[in-house]
Structure formats: structure tokens, C-alpha cells
Amino acid sequence: MFYYPIFFKIRKIGTKRGTFLTILIMFMISWMLHSYQWFWFKGEFPIKLVDAIFWNTWGILVATTAFMGTGGGRRSDKPRPWTESGVRVAQILGTLLLMSFMWSIWSVNTLADWLLPIRTAIDSPSGQFLTVAGCILALWMIGTLIDRLIHQYQLDEVINPPSSSGLASFWSLTMLGTLMLLQIPSLTDAIGSKLNIDTGGFLKAKLSAQDEEIQVEGYYTDLLFQTNLTSPLANMDDKGRAQFQNTEGAIPLFGYRNIMMRPNTSYPFKGKTFSINEWGFRDKEYTLTPDSNTVRTIFLGGSFVAGSGVADNEVMDVILEDRMNASATGTKYEFLNLGCPSYDFVDCVVQFEEDNLAKFQADYVVFFSQGKDLYKNARDLVRCIEDNKPIPYDFLKHIVASSGISPEMSTTEMLQRLKPFEEAILDSAYTYFATICKANRITPIWIFWPTVNMRPAYVAEKNIVKAIAERNGYVILDLEDINLPFEEDDLRISDEDIHPNAKSHQIMADRLFTFFKNEMPLAKTQ
């Protein structure tokens, strides 16, 4: 559509110069079309410095290559010298490193976000650079040897035969047959079990750890955390992509919390009925004051607790309450689900105070953690600063002042500056909430509800946060192994949505029943 009309208009300046200039123009057009594509996703037309660097650098490199010419000549049957093999492999490695370098620019929002890790890498110990250099050198030497052997024994005719040859057809049919066989679930499961690998990652797109965090939050601050349209999140169907903040059940807030639930609302969300009671939380109706024989518990947390993707009667608190009352004699149990998509611990503390949840006169309050709490609460504080929202607590204001972060900094820089203060944010928040619970004669409980694909980073952070909760007097229930007997796909909403499905909520309700019935004796006698 563009290349030939432009080239034939300007070729009078010379074929090589015309080609050079046309290619530069083509990359400018590609840049604008990518921004136009973003416009249709987001309603804004981004012109960013990182995009200018990315597209113009590629344009100059491709145009220069075309101007200089890259004819490889005919194949030679003479033995290839070691030096020629070395140069050839060095070119391949150089291309790979250049692609990686350019992709790092493409994957960030701002140049500051890119420069910050670069500066960190430059300041790293020299031993790390030596390790990287050693790996590259080893790859070059191995590649040179392989290239030399392929040429010496004329294996390139076997590995990469002419497309019209029978051998080329053999390789094509072999590859096609292999791909067809790998679509058989029983075969891939057997291979994965035998080799102890996840074959699913080779056969279908899977969310990265960062994309999983974005998807679980229940809302996006951007279409993706980065401006990367190649993520599986950009192609998720409505069931997986649906975000609570875009529904009629969400009320936007200009405060530390971004949203709250709209009272007296019922609507379809992710294909399931999502009902909100008069008090503004997903549950049946409750009286403000419990009966004298009632033990009342409040559940706090994010989209896992709120039951994102499951029906009203499938949420774990509903199942738990029915089982507890069916087995009770003289005591009534109520479990109020005040979970809200996107909420982390500090959000829940703000929710408890701003919505005056003490008015429900609960005996217990439970916070459910899914891991990555340190990062998530630091990220929420960064968002609060970026949006110029009021910071709710003195301990958060003190941490902001101590870290030196400000709205003028990039998101990446603020998160990096907050890194040393992540534990302090949660420690102060857990201490503060413990005093609130004590003042209202409420027993605080901390429960770890893992995602279906627990990552080592989640477990490491969980252990840190668990210790913080424990030393602040919270009752601890660590359910790290609750999903182990089951397959991931049996417990999640879909391939793209890792929220717990109805079966997962049932499993959690069963475990909580054991906890409240046998491990919390006070719950039966209060």
C-alpha cells in the first residue's frame, strides 16, 4: 500500500538513495499505525520518546543494510575456514542481542523506566558482567564448532534443503505430524509428567507473572501495565477480560481506594449473577446488629474473596455459613463477605474505617492474602501519589517522605525507591489495624489463599507477611498446600482467568469449616 507508491515517486534521486529514504518513511508510517491501533484500544494517540527511539533505530538499521547491500553469494563446496564460522556465529549472536536490546525499549512506557534498570545494571558487581560475558563467549565457541561441522560434513543440505526437494517435504510433514500429536492431551500430559515440564507453555499462550497480577487485581490502570499489545491479556475474551470497575456495580472513588460496590445492585459479571446487598457488599441481607447467640465474622480481601467469576451461591462464605449453621447447636454463625475486586491490605484498612465496618459488631475479621502483598501495597501507594490523591495515614506519609518519591518520577523509579520500605508499609498497616480490632473487641485472622499456580516469589513474600501478621497478634491459617491435590485447570475460571472457580470456592469453604469448627473453639462459645 505504501512502499511502492512512495519509492516510484522518489526513485529519480537514485535507486539506493530512494530505497534508503523510502524505508525510513515506511518505519515512520509503521510507528503512526501502531499508535493508531492503540487509539482504537484506548482512545488516545500516543507519541512517546521510547517509540521514536524504537522505530527510528530500526528504520536506520534496515535502510542502511539495504543501502549497503547484503548479497550472500553462492554456496561454496570448499571447507569453511574457522574464521568464517566464527564471524557468522558472531553475527547471529549480535543480531539476537540487538533484538533483545530493542525489545527492552519497546516494553516500557517511558525512557526513564528503561534507564533506571540500565543504571542499576551498570552499578552491579563486576562479577555479574564477567558471568554474562562468559556465557556469551561459550555460546559463540559452541556455535562456531557446530557451524564448522555442519559445513564440513555438508549437513546444511540435510538441515535446510531446497524447498522443492523431497527431503524438504519430509521435514515439513514430520513437523506437521509432531504438532498434531502434541494436541492430544493424554500424550502431552505423559510427556510433561515424564520430563517434569509444563508442556502447556509450549502449546498455548500463558500469562506472565506480571500479567497474572494485573488480571487478578480486578481493574487496569492501563490496557496493560506496559504498552505491549502482544500480551495474551490483549486478546482475552470478554469472560476473562471483564473488569469490575467497568460494571454498574462499581462506584469510582477519588481516594486511596479506587472503587467501592454499589448497594442494591444485581447484574451479570463474567457470565454469573453478581448481587450486592443494601450495605454495599456481595452477600445476602444482614441486620446491622447480630442476635445475642450469633458469632459474626467479616471477610476482607480482593477479587478472590468477592468471588470474581462465580455465582452468588457459589462464593465460599455462603457455602461456609450454610454448613456451620447446619451443624450448630444453639449458636448461629454469620460470615459477611466484604471483599472487593482490586483491594489489598491497606485498601481493606481504609475500607474498614471509611465504611465504619465496626458497626456490624463482628467477633472476627479475616483478611485473605494471595501473595505479592509487599509489592501490591507499595504499588497502590505509588498510584495514590501519581493521581495526586490524599494519603490516608501518617505512617504512609512518613514512608513517602523517607523514600523521597514524588509525582514527577516514573512509576518504575517510585517502586524502586519504595522497595526498601515495603515491609515497613505492611508492618505499620498490620499494627494499625490490630489496634482497631482491639478497640472493637474483634479477633483479627490472617489466611493465605494461594493462586492455582503458586510462584516461588509469592511463597517468599507470603512468609514475610505471615511473620508480620503473627507478631502483631493475628490468628494465622496458612493454606499454601490447599491446591496441591488438584490440577490448575480444575480450579481456575479459564485459561486466561486464574480466579478461583466454583470448585475452588467449595474446597476453601470445606477447609474454613474445619478451621472454625475445630481450630477456633471460641467461635462456638462466644
Give long-range contacts, CB 8 A cutoff, 24+ apart: 50-57. 50/105, 50/106, 50/108, 50/109, 50/110, 50/111, 50/114, 53/105, 53/111, 54/102, 54/105, 54/106, 55/27, 55/28, 55/30, 55/31, 56/27, 56/28, 56/31, 57/102
- Do 350 and 499 fall into the same domain? yes
The reply to whether 379 falls in a domain is: yes
Residues 85, 179 within the same domain: no
From edge to edge, which strands make up the β-sheet containing 332-337? 332-337, 294-300, 364-369, 443-448, 475-478
Residue 183 lies inside a defined structural domain of this protein: yes
The predicted-structure confidence for 497-508, as pLDDT tens digits, reads as follows: 889 999 999 999
Closest CA to 315 of 346, 353, 273: 273
pLDDT value at position 216?
53
Residue 463 counted as domain residue: yes
CA distances from 205 to 2, 212, 237, 281, 513 (A): 32, 13, 14, 35, 37
- Quickly list DSSP for 99-115: HHHHHHHHT-SSHHHHH
Q: Are residues 173 and 141 in the same domain?
A: no
Distance from C-alpha of 506 to C-alpha of 491, rounded to nearest angstrom? 10
pLDDT on residue 237: 42
393 within some domain: yes
43 lies in some domain: yes
* CA 174 from centre of chain: 36
Domain boundary among 175, 204, 233: 204
Are residues 148 and 82 in contact, defined by beta-carbon separation less than 8 angstroms? yes
Q: What is the CA radius of gyration of the chain?
A: 29
Three-state DSSP string of 119-175: HHHHCCCHHHHHHHHHHHHHHHHHHHHHHHHHHHCCCHHHHCCCCCCHHHHHHHHHH
DSSP state of 500: B
Final residue belonging to a domain, choices 133, 161, 189? 161
Whether residue 181 is found in the same domain as residue 291: no
Listed in sequence order, the DSSP H helices in 11-48 are 15-42
Grid coordinates given for 525: 462459645
Phi then psi dihedrals of residue 304, to 5 deg: -60, -45
Spatial separation of the C-alpha atoms in residues 147 and 85, rounded to whole Å:
6
User: What type of residue sits at position 123?
Assistant: D
3 state DSSP class of 400 = helix
* Cross-strand partners of 370: none
Question: Is residue 459 a contact partner of residue 370, using CB atoms and an 8 Å limit?
Answer: no
Question: Domain check: are 172 and 155 in the same one?
Answer: no
179 in any annotated domain: yes
Q: Write out the residue range of the structural domain in which residue 174 sits.
A: 162-204
Give the integer Cα–Cα distance in Å for 216 and 50. 28
Q: Which of 107, 134, 161 is the last residue of a domain?
A: 161
Residue 516 has what DSSP assignment? I
Q: Does residue 224 fall inside a structural domain? A: no
Question: Could you tell me the CA-to-CA distances from 431 to 194, 371, 382, 391, 444 in Å, in that order?
Answer: 48, 19, 21, 18, 11
CATH of the domain at 380: 3.40.50.1110
Based on the fold, state whether residues 145 and 178 are members of the same structural domain. Answer: no
- Examine the domain organization and report whether 436 and 483 are in the same domain: yes
Q: Which of 375, 367, 427 is nearest to 398 (CA)?
A: 427
Residues 194 and 154 in one domain: no
Question: Given this model, what pLDDT does residue 462 score?
Answer: 92
Specify whether 121 is located in the same domain as 188: no
Answer yes or no: is 220 within a domain: no
Q: HSE, CB side, 13 Å, CA atoms: give it for residue 442.
A: 25
Residue numbers in the chain where pLDDT is lower than 50: 218-230, 233, 235-241, 523-526
pLDDT at 206: 62
Domain identity same for 154 and 168: no
Let me know whether 111 and 171 are in one domain.
no
Torsion sign across C-alpha atoms 273, 317, 262, 291:
positive
Sequence-distant (6+) residues with CB within 8 A of 132 are none
Total of domains in the chain: 3
Identify whether residues 324 and 367 lie together within a single domain. yes
Distances (CA, A) of 394 to 399, 400, 401, 422, 428: 9, 10, 10, 16, 10
